[in-house]
Amino acid sequence: MMKKRLLAAVVCLSMLLGSAAGCSSGGGDSGSTAPTGGAASSSQSKGKEGKDLTFVIVPKCVHAWFDEVNKGAVAQANKLTEELGVKVSIDYRAPNTADVAEQNTVLQQAAATKPDGIALDPCDYKGSKAVIEEIQAQGIPVVLFDSPAPGGSNLTSVGNDFAEQATLAADKLAETIGKKGKVAVMQGLPTAPNHAERYQAHLDALKKYPDIQVIDGGIDNDNIETAQSQAAAVLAANPDLTGYLCCDASGPIGISAAIKEAGKVGKVKIVGMDNLIDILNYIKDGTMTATSSTMPQMQGSMAVLMMWQKHLGIDIPKTVDTGIAFIDSSNVDKWIEIVKK
């Protein structure tokens, strides 16, 4: 399964850097395959009435991971501009903090500009449900990225299998520490659907190892500084800690910094999430063992394609799986080259 996910991730990234065509690594569900190819043919390929198009990206907060999503979105918009003969623009609106009230305000402000679609990574779907439905009632397509689609909703989800991603990380950590010891699990933003799925999957996976004791690793709320301070406190209170897991892209950076500061490199193993350059550098220098990574640029690219097709009235899949990449010392140099492009 890991090889399948890694292959899918590499294929998706190649497509993004090349033709920016659609891709799905799919888990076998017929509804999880994204449309492929570039623009549709004839007049349908353009925006309604041939007008310029604007698609809005609303992440959880200001964060380097979401900057990568935006890069993918802009790349896809530029590709569509070339193919369609109309200007396709990205309006990137990042809340300052991962707060549902602030995110709802950003959503409402974005909707007031009458864009041709909005892609959202929700801080708290339940807290944003009414705003999302209000936007959809205005005829503005909404898709989710980096988040599962809630049951009963009509929303498309662009992302990956978050539970599988976390399970890969937990199993790798267990293997690394000899399937015994004390492991801390740090939560991300507890109300975020993808963070919650990963957290639960970590706990479920570690239940397979009776000689591993699981402890509370703190809550980082998708903030690197918070992750570092929380991890520092956990390390100080647990001198016998052997491993650390996390649920977002902030956790591995903050935890690794705390491990280095405490002089615990090699004594406390960490398997992270995602492929930001700081994460890859921590793998390179041996602070971090590995990371189970999403594909942020591909998520941005595919979110734009889904909004565009939804804008045209084309049926789109319920799930677009952009794959998981597993990165460790054996392939980190390759991924550093990819991410730096």
Per-residue pLDDT of 156-192, as tens digits, reads: 999 999 999 999 999 999 999 999 999 999 999 999 9
The mean-pLDDT minimum among 45-54, 204-213, 319-328 falls in 45-54
Task: Give residues with Cβ within 8 angstroms of 279, minimum separation 6.
Answer: 249, 252, 253, 256, 272, 288, 291
Q: Model pTM?
A: 0.85
Per-residue pLDDT of 79-122, as tens digits, reads: 999 999 999 999 999 999 999 999 999 999 999 999 999 999 99
- The answer to whether the beta carbons of residues 107 and 142 sit under 8 Å apart is no
Nearest C-alpha neighbor of 51 from the set 76, 17, 88? 88
Q: What domains can be seen in the chain, in order of their start residue?
A: 48-160+297-324 (3.40.50.2300), 162-293 (3.40.50.2300)
Per-residue pLDDT of 123-166, as tens digits, reads: 999 999 999 999 999 999 999 999 999 988 999 999 999 999 99
- Give the mean model confidence (pLDDT) for residues 314-325: 96
Distance CA 196, CA 187 (A): 8
Phi, psi of 169 (to 5 degrees): -65, -45
